[in-house]
């Protein structure tokens, strides 16, 4: 029972259910044309793209945050862990069963960006920014300037950072920090980005409890 369920203890477990893969999950595999994207998203305004996120806890937490701030879906680039890994599902708290999730290649992502005319931005630590590219600081002003644009936000792994493809394709944006640390855990940084760049009509970023 432990092996089948993936649980550490099965003393109080009387049954294990088998669940079909959600309809809003799609592995694009080797599709080579834009037709594979049909029906995945309905005019998306905000897509979270994960670039090589291998820690299931971080991946699940990011999916949960994307769902909480009403982003339209999550796109997983190669080298990401399985979003239906038990730890990822636990961290997502059910969000992975509500939010459209797509697994595909950079070719597929470019087709998505072209189809919906989306702007591409990537979170990048200020201390490691590519000197050859301008890096924007996350702010209310920047977020307001993007309200009427369709946006893909790319986040990379803590170990390897952003891939070369992401660095080439995206505008870079960092979270300004006055403290001594150079970077944040990707799920923490992602939560800040997802909140600040959430779709038009959501929570007022300037409000206080």
184 within some domain: yes
6 within some domain: no
36 within some domain: yes
What is the extent of the structural domain holding 63?
A: 22-197
8 within some domain: no
Q: Are 10 and 2 in contact (CB under 8 A)?
A: yes
| pLDDT tens track for 43-61 | 889 999 999 999 999 999 9
| pLDDT tens track for 78-136 | 999 999 988 999 999 989 988 999 999 998 899 899 989 999 999 998 655 555 678 89
The CATH number of whichever domain residue 61 belongs to comes to 3.40.1280.10
206 within some domain: no
Cα 148 from Cα 45, distance rounded (Å) = 8
38 within some domain: yes
Measured in degrees and rounded to the nearest 5, phi and psi for residue 165 equal -65, -40
C-alpha distances (whole Å) from 148 to each of 55, 117, 155, 167, 200 are: 33, 12, 21, 24, 7
Average pLDDT of span 36-41: 67
pTM, to two decimals: 0.83
Give the total number of structural domains in the chain: 1
Q: Which two tokens stand for residue 186?
A: 């990707």
62 within some domain: yes
| pLDDT tens track for 7-23 | 556 566 566 566 555 66
205 within some domain: no
Does the pLDDT of residue 67 top 90, yes or no?
Answer: yes
């Amino acid at each position: 029972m432990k092996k089948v369920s993936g649980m550490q203890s099965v003393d109080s477990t009387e049954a294990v259910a088998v669940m079909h893969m959600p309809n809003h999950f799609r592995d694009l595999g080797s599709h080579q044309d834009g037709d594979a994207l049909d029906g995945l998203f309905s005019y998306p305004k905000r897509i979270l793209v994960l670039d090589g996120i291998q820690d299931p806890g971080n991946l699940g937490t990011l999916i949960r945050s994307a769902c909480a701030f009403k982003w339209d879906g999550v796109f997983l680039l190669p080298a990401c862990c399985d979003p239906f890994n038990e730890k990822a599902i636990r961290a997502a708290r059910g969000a992975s069963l509500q939010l459209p999730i797509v697994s595909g290649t950079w070719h597929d992502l470019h087709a998505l960006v072209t189809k919906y005319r989306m702007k591409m931005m990537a979170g990048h630590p200020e201390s490691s920014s590519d000197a050859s590219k301008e890096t924007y600081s996350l702010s209310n002003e920047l977020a307001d300037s993007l309200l009427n644009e369709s946006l893909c936000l790319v986040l990379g792994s803590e170990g390897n950072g952003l891939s070369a493809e992401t660095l080439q394709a995206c505008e870079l944006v960092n979270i300004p920090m006055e403290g001594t640390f150079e970077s944040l855990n990707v799920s923490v940084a992602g939560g800040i980005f997802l909140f600040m760049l959430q779709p038009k009509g959501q929570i007022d970023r300037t409000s206080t409890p």
